[in-house]
Structure 1
Amino acid sequence: MAILDPTEHARIAEAIRSAESGTSGEIFAVAAETSDSYRFIPLLWAALAALFAGIAVAFLYPLAEAWLTAPAPGNEWLAQSHDLWGDALDARVVAAGEIVLLILLGLLASLPSLRPLLVPEFVRRQRAERHAMQQFMAHNLHGTAGRTGILIFVSLAERYAAIIADQGIDAHVDQSVWDEIVAELIEDSRKGALADGLVKAITACGKILEEQIPAGRENPNELPDKLVEV
């Protein structure tokens, strides 16, 4: 399923062309649904939950058994029931219950909408940062003539955005400038206005490039002017 529709893609492509018209730098945009499958971490949580459930049963069952068999008024029917099933809740039954619980929790934790929420924030950020750098390299932003490529990256599941600027432009811009653009992009993304946020970020990056690296007599377009969805 596409993140943005064709009209929004066209708006972003036009914003890139406009931003690059006054600079020899290059801007490229990537949007990702998620930066990782996170298949193993939710299963780990499910395994831990099943383990602790088994421990809880192991501790609580003897107490329940003692209460059921105690000759207290009002619980005669419970004692009779206990006599019927006796020691049925033995280690094998507990183990089977843990397996069933593990499977059910594993299936629940594997739901795409729920899975990222079970992953610690630092792990999600780490995976998103790694994905952004992979996209920077994969689309050859490090290979422009003046090392002036800029990647604008968004990963929706992690609520993460980043601007990665190659050394030809990054050396001239304070990190706080990029951080301000990124913060506004994240805010727009959270509001459901990803296309608007990307257009604003592209425009802001274009102004920075135009100030620092204005277009020369020849201004080849080294990278495609488009948003790539991954």
Structure 2
Amino acid sequence: MNLTRIVRHLSAGQWLLRRALPAATLTAIEQVIQQSETSHSGEICIAVECALNTLALIKNQTARERALEVFSRLRVWDTEQNNGVLIYLLLADRDVEIIVDQGMHAKVSNKEWGNICHIMESAFSQQQFEAGLIQGIHAISQHLETHFPYDPNKDKNELTNKPTIL
């Protein structure tokens, strides 16, 4: 149990979300996802959480473990071509995780997903949350365009483009 982490999470409130991702930023992110999905058949989801609950903190749940739960909860795994991608942002830890479905996992290495996370985290460390997320979406979209090009006759939007606030 990390006492510093617990205090950081307990003190993180909705103010942190509003500061990092105001309503205009959330709308811009939604539009970027919508636009990117016109060039590939993948599904990009964003989930943002201010802080973990007390039980998760006591169990020392990592951002990665929580991202896997959210991936399942939001049914990102349930796309027709198994090409869903979740960007999970845990604000209190300043951590970002990318979880991909098996179709994408087979095509792109974990190292590349880590590189994209690093790009976003670098922007976040400079308080550039919108820019970091947009950079991440564009990088992910490039992989999706390569491996899952858009087919207007069969592709449909399977998951929401609007960032999910947990």
Instruction: Please report the TM-score for the alignment, with normalisation by the length of structure 2.
Output: 0.82
In 2, Cα distance between equivalents of 1:214 and 1:25: 8
In 2, Cα distance between equivalents of 1:19 and 1:194: 18
Counterpart for residue 26 of structure 1? 43
Alpha-carbon distance, 1:185 to partner: 0.9
Query: Of 163, 166, 170, which residue of structure 1 is paired with 2:98?
Result: 163
Alpha-carbon distance, 1:40 to partner: 7.4
Alpha-carbon distance, 1:25 to partner: 0.8
Once the two structures are superposed, what CA deviation does each residue of 1:10-68 show, in whole Å capped at 9, x if it has no partner? 11001101111111110000111113336975xxxxxxxxxxxxxxxxxxxxxxxxxxx
Q: Counterparts of 1:169-184 in structure 2 under 5 Å?
A: 169-184=104-119
Moved over 2 A (4+): 35-41
Task: Quote the sequence identity (%).
Answer: 27
Counterpart for residue 59 of structure 1? none
In 2, Cα distance between equivalents of 1:159 and 1:36: 16
Contact 1:28 1:225 in 2 (8 A): yes
Query: Which structure shows the higher helix fraction?
Result: 1
SS state at 1:142 partner: coil
Mark the runs of 5 or more structure 1 residues left unpaired by the alignment: 42-118
Q: Counterparts of 1:61-210 in structure 2 under 5 Å?
A: 123=60, 126-210=61-145
Counterpart for residue 223 of structure 1? 159
In 1, Cα distance between equivalents of 2:133 and 2:57: 32
Structure of higher CA gyration radius:
1
In 2, Cα distance between equivalents of 1:153 and 1:40: 17
Distance 1:28 1:39, change over 3 A: closer
Counterpart for residue 54 of structure 2? 37
Flag the structure with more relative contact order, 1 or 2, with Cα contacts below 8 A and sequence separation at least 6: 1
Contact 1:185 1:198 in 2 (8 A): yes
SS state at 2:98 partner: strand
Alpha-carbon distance, 1:146 to partner: 0.8
Amino acid at match of 1:26: E
RMSD between aligned alpha carbons? 1.9
